[in-house]
Amino acid sequence: MQKPNDWPANKRAAVSLSFDDARPSQLEAGLPILDCHGVRATFYVSPPTALTRVEDWRSAAARGHELGNHTMTHPCSGNFPWSRANALEDHTVDSYAAELDGANAFIHDQFGITASTYAYCCGQKFIGRGAQAHSLVPLVAERFVVGRGFRDENWNDPAYCDLAQASGVDADVQPLETLRGWVDRAVAAGGWLIFVAHDVADRSHQALSPAVLDALCAYCADPANGIWIDTVANIGAHVCNWQRAAQKAT
């Protein structure tokens, strides 16, 4: 049976870089940096945006980057005024299942890919309100190997974490020292750290600086640091198999 720190090739920890919404800056500024370092990342695509650059996203997938599910219309809580007309509070189990299944069909039809991971929109895992609220986690667990959260407070313990609600740490507008600190703590614990970013740009809101991304990739890809940096799908599949083997051994 594997022990909690048994990563492939004697690595000490795992890191995934993930980006939401299929924003143009990810293609224009992010992918050249990732490819330069040989780092494969996960992109949770929003269909309306992805449709404007289909060939570019196909090319990214062909180079080993993951395209994951981020729903059809990106519903979030109506507490965000911009989501009031598409609020999670107004969704049903059936309507949200259609969001997930529609996005899976889109990804398969446009890119020939079966999505195996999902990113919760705004990191929120509910529909409805009050006594009529329901968790989205079971819907996600039925369809995906990993459901990635957002603005969580820790890395994932591969021996314990619930893959249907894996923790995702916000990387937007963070200095390199902060992100390296997260990486170093995950390495010390033998954990799996998933970063979440949006734009790749030098601006103050929902953006990871290109210079920071470049330095972060260099740090994680340096063999001396003992980090397995790969897509959410690839690392998630490893952790899933790891957990199943542990369960059978008990």
pLDDT, one tens digit per residue, over 17-34 is 999 999 999 999 999 999
Length of the chain: 250
pLDDT value at residue 5: 54
- Partnered with residue 114 across adjacent β-strands are none
Residues in the chain with pLDDT < 50? 1-2, 4
pLDDT value at residue 76: 98
Rounded CA-CA distance 38/55 in Å is 21
pLDDT value at residue 247: 87
* Tokens standing for residue 186: 């995950």
* Tokens standing for residue 211: 């210079």
Q: What is the pTM of this model?
A: 0.97
Q: How many CA atoms lie within 13 A of 105 on its CB side?
A: 7
pLDDT value at residue 2: 42
End-to-end C-alpha distance for the chain, whole angstroms: 9
The 3-state secondary structure of 132-167 reads HCEECHHHHHHHCCEEECCCCCCCECCCCCCHHHEC
Look up the CATH superfamily of 9-249: Glycoside hydrolase/deacetylase (3.20.20.370)
Q: Are 147 and 165 in contact (CB under 8 A)?
A: yes
